[in-house]
Amino acid sequence: METLEKGKFVGKGIIKVITYGTFDLFHEGHYRLLQRAKALGDYLIVGVTTETYDRARGKLNVVDSLATRIENVKKTGFADEIITEETQGQKFNDIKKFHVDIFTVGSDWTGTFDYLKDYCQVIYLERTRNISSTMLREQKQQIQRIGIIGTGRIAGRFLVEAKLVSGCSVQAAYNPHPGSAAKFAQKWGIDAYLDIEDFFSVVDVVYIASPHETHYNYIKAALEHGKHVLCEKPMVMQGIQAEKLFKYAKERGLILFEGIKTAYCPGFSRLLGIACSGTIGSVRNVEACFTKLEAPDTRELTDQKYGGSFTELGSYCMLPVLKLFGKDYEKLEFETIRGENGLDLFTKISLRYFGGIATATCGLGVKSEGRLLIAGTKGYIVAEAPWWKTAYFEVHYEEPGKVEKYSESFLGDGLRYEISDFLSMINGSSDNGFKLTRGESIALAEIMEKFLETEDRIL
């Protein structure tokens, strides 16, 4: 027998109980659950979910950090051991590993864990009424009323995804064209406005999904009206405009956030984490390619001033390059293949850095293999298309058989991740998101500008 700190004995004959939870904004329901779980046996193990696991299973609204949640569970004094729950399927392994006799959770999960009955006893404890982390989050958080500028395809997708993120509600849409506004309002059951002043008066934050060239003026107007802004990529196409807007937002204590969904998805964050960890040594080459064939009459291939493959897809391809090599490139070159109307159908951008090189390839009229390849001095990381919705990637080394495989979930259209990060920034966690910094957004705008200059498109 082994003596534990609390004077309890572990060994033959003791009853081990295990329970799991997020335990966010620790409340009475959690306390009572742990108290009763402990009373079921002699030794209680509590599994607290990690941030990565919560994000992977689509729980994007957790407020407390893992450390705080663990600390709160510890303070109750009921847990003999605290572990973290990091992956799906872990419960089954924990039960075997810790020789668990009883698995228990609240009655909101009744039936869900019956599959564990072959390995231990499963007990659903009655949930404490009228209290939950969700309720507390809603009381704590002001619900942000979102207004959408622009009523195209992406605006519809945004609406669907925003419904899955707590702390916000899409309230209104604005489009100066009466037909489009009315159609959108009818389809999605929200109010559409033709007058921008009326629109600003009913919303707290603005999502901009209008044509690229209108972004600057809409962002400026929204900031002038005291609204936080989430703007679709490319946010703007001139470095100076991006700088001005960020400065303007900062002076007013507002958040300005560029929506490149790849930057916020859990799989891409994990990939970057591994690339920066030294696992593949020093990064020497980044190759990112994203192509999709578009019909010749779409806006992307007809807008003479702002259309083409690079303005459309360049933000995605440049993202891993800027994240891994930074903004201080030594050389930048574009090669393009143009369509009959002069717009670029296929663009390759080559960058030289001190110690590394990169290429970003975008196509709307040429199809290629979409891939993200990051080569280092010890190995390489490869993510196949759609790597911009990173769900799977591999790490390879010199030995051909040595391959590490990573997968992460990418739910729905992935916009939920950026909306959730945007709301966290508004709610005060930071005003310069590390997943896409202001400096990186400015660098992207500068690169767009250089591209349009080489194309002789006057801004």
Q: How far is CA 429 from the centre of its chain?
A: 15
- Applying CB under 6 A, does 84 fall inside the site for ligand CTP? no
- Applying CB under 6 A, does 127 fall inside the site for ligand CTP? yes
**Site track for ligand CTP across 354-373, x = CB under 6 A:** --------------------
CB of 172 to ligand CTP, least distance (A): 28
**Site track for ligand CTP across 17-36, x = CB under 6 A:** ----xxxx----xx--x---
Question: Dihedral through CA 270, CA 271, CA 277, CA 282, nearest 10?
Answer: -170
Which of 40, 53, 132, 452 is in the footprint of ligand CTP by CB under 6 A? Answer: 132
Residue 141 or 368: which CB sits closer to ligand CTP? Answer: 141
Residue 229 or 419: which CB sits closer to ligand CTP? Answer: 419
Residue 31 or 392: which CB sits closer to ligand CTP? Answer: 31
Alpha helices, DSSP H, located in 211-308: 215-224, 239-251, 261-264, 266-276, 299-302
- Dump the DSSP string for 109-178: GTTTTGGGGGTSEEEEEPPPTT--HHHHHHHHSPPEEEEEE--SHHHHHHHHHHTTSTTEEEEEEE-SSH
| Residue 387 DSSP symbol | G
Which of 3, 93, 110, 134 is in the footprint of ligand CTP by CB under 6 A? Answer: 134
Which residues neighbour 400 within 8 Å (Cβ) at sequence distance 6 or greater?
Answer: none
CB of 61 to ligand CTP, least distance (A): 7
Residue 60 near residue 416, CB atoms below 8 Å: yes
CB of 95 to ligand CTP, least distance (A): 16
| Residue 14 DSSP symbol | P
Size of the site for ligand CTP (CB under 6 A): 17
* Closest residue to ligand CTP in the complex (CB): 106
- Applying CB under 6 A, does 47 fall inside the site for ligand CTP? no
Residue 289 near residue 361, CB atoms below 8 Å: yes
Which one of the spans 125-133, 148-156, 244-252, 289-297 is the region binding ligand CTP (CB under 6 A)?
125-133
Residue with tokens 């916009």: 415
| Contact residues for ligand CTP, defined by CB under 6 A | 21-24, 29-30, 33, 105-106, 108-109, 127-128, 131-134
